[in-house]
Amino acid sequence: MAENTQHELHQILENAAFAPLHDRAFLRITGPDATRWLNGMVTNSVQSLAPGEGNYNFLLNAQGRIQGDGTIYRDGDEFLLETSTSQVESIQQHLDRFIIMDDVELSPAYTEKQGLLLVGAKTPAILAASELPTLDPLHLSHAKSLLLLTPAAGSVPRYELWDDPASLAVLRESLSNAGAVEVSVASLEQLRLIEATPRFSQDIRDRDLPQETAQAHALHFNKGCYLGQEIVERIRSRGQVHRTFTAFRLTGDLPTLPAPIEANGKPVGELTSAAVVPLPEGPTLLALGYIRREALDTHQPLTYAGGTAIPRSPGNS
């Protein structure tokens, strides 16, 4: 298994790989009031999106706590919200509660389509070989029945391809013939840890505040009013939060999650994700979590049950 994921991770970082998308779902937001209403429900500026553009967003409650996350694309006169399958129902319920006198409709979208993630350093060349367009991060395009979109930028390019099952099977064969290799969920999780991308419900919980997650690209401070904005602005005016999302390198045992982090015998944070990653220099235990700023800024030695935690920059091991 370790040898397989080492090969797969190499394919992702140096070549091109693909994997089925089973954990993504879409909501379509339509209606004459959709732009104004949706802009007041999320943390980023969807009103400024041109057709085909997207941005990453949090959905907050009135106390500024994160209730969900997703990427929103403007698709012609409509909006398309992509999120995890585990969130889509709760996000729709959350949004539904705030449609009062607004001419807005929410509906599941692309439920008949299947998805494929194409990821890796050489994916633009693979797309070109398959006669498909390449897009900048956070963009959407249609090619006949195919929906092609790009998530937020990471350490390597990535694309999502959505189509009916028969067409996607043909596309899958074309990508394989062009040199892309199928990889496992475990390898994609290793990439997530390398890039330090938080996952909602695991690294981001409904008790967390936006600025604690270190996902500044989800926030827009000049877009106008939205649900939870008062708390976000209050934190901004104070300068910082007391704890922040951080990537770690661990020396010791694989922790049972969530795992408390201590400094000088006092709790200062927690680990929320961890896995052994087969890096070129050898198997390395990488983790994600939260740490109090004073412990981070003063470079205090950090420990967890089973080892030590060393803060690292995203993308660096």
- Distances in whole angstroms, Cα of residue 17 to Cα of each of 20, 46, 232: 11, 31, 38
Contact at 8 Å (CB) between 2 and 283?
yes
Distance CA 114, CA 19 (A): 11
Longest dimension (CA), the chain: 60
CA 84, 87, 88: angle at the middle one, nearest 5? 85
Contact at 8 Å (CB) between 262 and 268?
yes
Backbone angles phi, psi at 311, to 5 degrees: -60, 145
Distance CA 211, CA 154 (A): 20
Query: What SS3 class is residue 200?
Result: strand
**Residue 112 marked in a binding site:** no
Residue 255 Rama label (left phi>0; alpha psi -120 to 50; beta): beta
Cα-based torsion angle of the residue sequence 44, 45, 47, 50 in order, rounded to the nearest 10 degrees: -100
Alpha-carbon torsion 8, 196, 84, 70, what sign? negative
Residue stretches of the annotated binding site for substrate: 160
